[in-house]
Amino acid sequence: MKVHQLSAAVALALAGMAGAAIAQSAPPLRISLTADIRSTEPGVNRDSNSDAVVLHIVEGLVAYGEDAEVRPLLAKSIDISADGKTYTFTLRDGIKFHNGKPMTSADVLWTWQHYTGANSGWRCASEFDGRGTVKVTGVEAPDAHTVVYHLEKPSSLFLASLARTDCGGTGILSKDSVGADGAWIKPIGTGPFELAEWKRGEYIRLTKFAGYSNLDGKRDGYTGSKRPLVDEVRFMIVPDDSTAKAALQRGNIDIIEDVSNNDVPVLQGTPNVKVAYAPVMSMTALLLQTKDPVLSSPKMRQALAHAIDYKQLAAAVTEGLAQPNNSIVPLVSPYHDAAQKQGWEYDPARTQALLKEAGYKGQALTILTTKRYPQSYNSAVIVQAMLQSVGINAQLSVVEWATQLDRYNAGTYQMMTFPYSARLDAALNYEMVTGDKTKQPRKIWDSAEALKLVEAASVDTDHAKRQASFDQLHKLFLADVPSIPLYNGLDIGAYRSDVKGYQPWAVKKPRAWEVERVGG
């Protein structure tokens, strides 16, 4: 009943906005969000929706490109010292804040001090003070266009950490973003849109920044060309999926930024609605507890790996949209090359031979799963059927998400289908699964050789050296089978046919720049 009342209220608000828009020559571009944002301060009291909105307003020295590779944004160039411990950023010319003030290195320095100050609340402070992967020992601004960061030791993850969306992209702020007492007011950044209004529970209104200094070239993730082609963007809070779909069909919303796989066929058949999608960095995998008496045998784990038809599974779970991927490195990563394309072949006969070699006697193997994430649950059902078809006594145990997460963190399971959230660097992809199980039971791979390779990839800044580490890791992973990666997720967006330029991408966040209306 509560959901129905909320949906009706949202529908009325959307209809009212549509009516108001008719009187305007250029109605706002309306993008639905499932929940309100938590704050407007980059990386503080944030969630995914907050990040998505704030990153239209602020920009950092670097940002993720379309392929999740880090590239310059407010920086014109980046020079890394021979020892890998000094990063010199040269700023682009002519950058202005939304208040008209020019951006200089002094603003970069002030922003860094604001983020890393005591009790700042910035999520990523621990990522740069030595508690995380990087320790910044000092930052200086020798002239108006130069900023120098000093690190305690080399790190290939320094730039990736600066670019992280949950860090607000380490967006550079004008001092006017805070009051005289240091209290937060609103983000005054350099992005293509500026914050105009936040009506809590209803919408966040952004307006075009006429003084935006655009990069040349094409759109490229959070960098590249980011022209604001509409005068106003409204992120509409629409918690109910059915309400959002109805509003899109009526024309009261222009874009739904996160569509479920199950809704794709319906929306594809809806007049005046288009659907687009792109692979993302998240991963669904079948986890195997290598400490389990049955699964401790590598032969047994290899038997499981060859019993799954990955193409059929990925097609069935994602409505034919996703491709299988047996690598920890996502398909869209710049480090997914020929080595990562190698996987386990679906081979029931080989499974039978491996089961015999492993001494399998028909013991029950339980797959833990939850209905909270339909793709993960559907994967478990299909995997169970495939394993049973080759004589493996696979059972399904369906639990609440909280229970599954507790079991995952404690390592108390035999097998489970698990949805990993996106990591935007291949070293972080491996770090999320590799580690000492006695200290971190949630880890699935405790190979000493793998740990050394992950550590090397986290330090090396040379692409070729990092690639060699990831290639060797994948080879070891295929042989050891500590888990079975199945496929990467999708970013699916639906939009009105008069919207041009909207494009889902690897980071799974909406982008309103380079988007316009056509045909009146």
Domain residue ranges in the chain: 29-254+498-517, 280-490
User: Which one of 3.30.450.20, 3.40.50.970, 3.40.50.300, 3.40.190.10 gives the CATH number of domain 29-254+498-517?
Assistant: 3.40.190.10
- What is the structure's pLDDT at 367? 98
Average pLDDT of span 423-440: 91
Q: What pLDDT score was predicted for residue 9?
A: 46
Contacts of 504 by beta carbon, 8 Å cutoff, 6+ apart: 276, 277, 278, 490, 491, 492, 493
Name the more confident of 40 and 10.
Answer: 40
pLDDT at position 19, please? 46
Per-residue model confidence as pLDDT tens digits over 196-211: 999 999 999 999 999 9
Q: Quote the DSSP letter at residue 103.
A: P
Beta strands in 45-131 (DSSP E): 62-64, 70-72, 75-80, 86-91
pLDDT, mean of residues 272-293? 95
pLDDT at 169 over 80: yes
pLDDT tens-digit series, residues 41-82 = 999 999 889 999 999 999 999 999 998 889 999 999 999 999
The mean pLDDT of 137-143, rounded to a whole number, is: 97
Strands 203-208 and 232-237 come out as antiparallel
Can you point out the beta strands (E) in 238-317? 255-256, 273-288
User: Which of the pair, 108 or 18, is modelled with greater confidence?
Assistant: 108
Residue 390, pLDDT > 80, answer yes
- Domain 280-490: give its CATH superfamily: Dipeptide-binding Protein; Domain 3 (3.10.105.10)
How do residues 284-336 score in pLDDT, each as one tens digit?
999 999 999 999 999 999 999 999 999 999 999 998 999 999 999 999 999 99
> Does residue 18 have a pLDDT over 70?
no
pLDDT on residue 221: 95
More confident position, 518 or 360: 360
Nearest-angstrom CA–CA distance, 372 and 22: 40
pLDDT at residue 97, rounded to an integer: 98
Q: Is the pLDDT of residue 2 over 80?
A: no
**Of the candidates 433, 390, 427, the residue with the CA atom closest to the CA atom of residue 408:** 433
pLDDT reported for residue 262: 84
This prediction has a pTM of 0.84
Q: Is the pLDDT of residue 6 over 60?
A: no
pLDDT band at 520 (very low <50, low <70, confident <90, very high): low
Contact 370, 401 (CB under 8 A): yes
pLDDT value of residue 14: 52
Contact 308, 484 (CB under 8 A): yes
Residue with the bigger pLDDT between 145 and 375: it is: 145
Are 29-254+498-517 and 280-490 equal in CATH topology? no
pLDDT on residue 12: 46
For 148-162, what is the mean pLDDT? Answer: 95
Q: What is the mean pLDDT of the chain?
A: 93
pLDDT tens profile 342-368: 999 999 999 999 999 999 999 999 999
The pLDDT assigned to 519 comes to 72
Distance, in Å, from the CA atom of 193 to the CA atom of 206, rounded to the nearest integer, reads 6
Average pLDDT of 105-120?
Answer: 96
Strand partners, 511: none
The stretch 222-240 carries a mean pLDDT of 96
Q: Do 145 and 91 touch, CB atoms closer than 8 A?
A: yes
- Measure the N-to-C terminal CA separation of the chain; round to a whole number of Å: 39
Predicted pLDDT of residue 260? 86
Q: Are 372 and 299 in contact (CB under 8 A)?
A: no
| CA dist 319 → 323, 378, 458 (Å) | 11, 12, 36
* pLDDT given for residue 374 in this prediction: 86
Q: Read off the DSSP letter of residue 314.
A: H
Max alpha carbon distance in the chain (Å)? 75
Comparing CA positions, the residue from 284, 285, 289, 283 lying closest to residue 482 is: 289
CB contact at 8 A, 405 and 376: no
Instruction: Quickly list DSSP for 111-161.
Output: HHHHHHSTT--BTTHHHHBSSSS-BEEEEEEEETTEEEEEESS--TTHHHH
pLDDT at 21: 42
When pLDDT is averaged across residues 214-240 and rounded to a whole number, the result is 95
The 3-class secondary structure across 170-219, one letter per residue, is HCCCCHHHECCCCCECCCCCCCCEEEEEEECCCEEEEEECCCCCCCCCCE
Judge whether residue 22 has pLDDT over 50.
no
Q: What pLDDT is stored for residue 424 in this prediction? A: 85
pLDDT computed for residue 25 by the predictor: 59
